[in-house]
Amino acid sequence: MSSMIDIQITDNALAQANAALRKILADSPQAVARAINRTVEGLRTDAVKETTKRYFVSAKEVRASIKPQKASAGNLMGAMVSKDKRHSLDYYKLTPNTPKPGGKTVLKGAVKTEGGLKELREAFLVKRSGGQYLPFYRLHSGAGSSNQYRHKGIRSFISPSLPQIIKNEETVKVMEKGAEDRFSKRLNHEIMRLLGALS
């Protein structure tokens, strides 16, 4: 004994199926772009969180340096671009930031939070236009014995720019892992949206 069930697809049903598939194909680039853009937003969030955890810098300053570049259906490439100049050490952490009256001021400062503040033995404060004090140190070159130096001038304590510290190896690892997880979840979400629109 045998049985057979015939299933016939009408021309109208086949046309509807083809139209639905064409719609999915047409909408998929925009869906991928949305997933990419949500991933880039997450990258900025991770960059701010991880950088402020490791460096003496505010979330507001890190966030302001980052400009997300959005993907589109015609260009499926997103990016997180950080732009900033190098700063004097006082931009990060410096204490005191004004001279103390009556004697030599011993400065302490740091860029990274790890290890705390370090004593800057040869540093001194110089008042710039506008009343701001910046940390400087003297430049010397050898002349005569090792204990004698010839004065050459002074130089500011220049510290890294925000893009440089955002690229911290540990920070980048966290960002890469977060981006991978977010993109996978967001893409699955966008695919389900496309399929749900057909029901």
Residue-wise pLDDT for 50-94, tens only, equals 999 999 999 999 999 999 999 999 999 999 999 999 999 999 999
To 5 degrees, how large is the angle CA 75–CA 77–CA 82?
Answer: 130
Q: Which one has a higher pLDDT value, 152 or 177?
A: 177
Q: What is the mean pLDDT of the chain?
A: 84
Closest CA to 111 of 151, 46, 48, 51: 51
pLDDT of residue 7: 53
**Using 50, 70 and 90 to split pLDDT, how confident is the model at 151?**
very low
pLDDT of residue 17: 62
Tokens 């050459």 belong to 152
**Using 50, 70 and 90 to split pLDDT, how confident is the model at 138?**
confident
pLDDT of residue 20: 63
DSSP sequence for 163-196 = HHHHT-HHHHHHHHHHHHHHHHHHHHHHHHHHHH
Backbone angles phi, psi at 182, to 5 degrees: -65, -45
**pTM of this structure:** 0.78
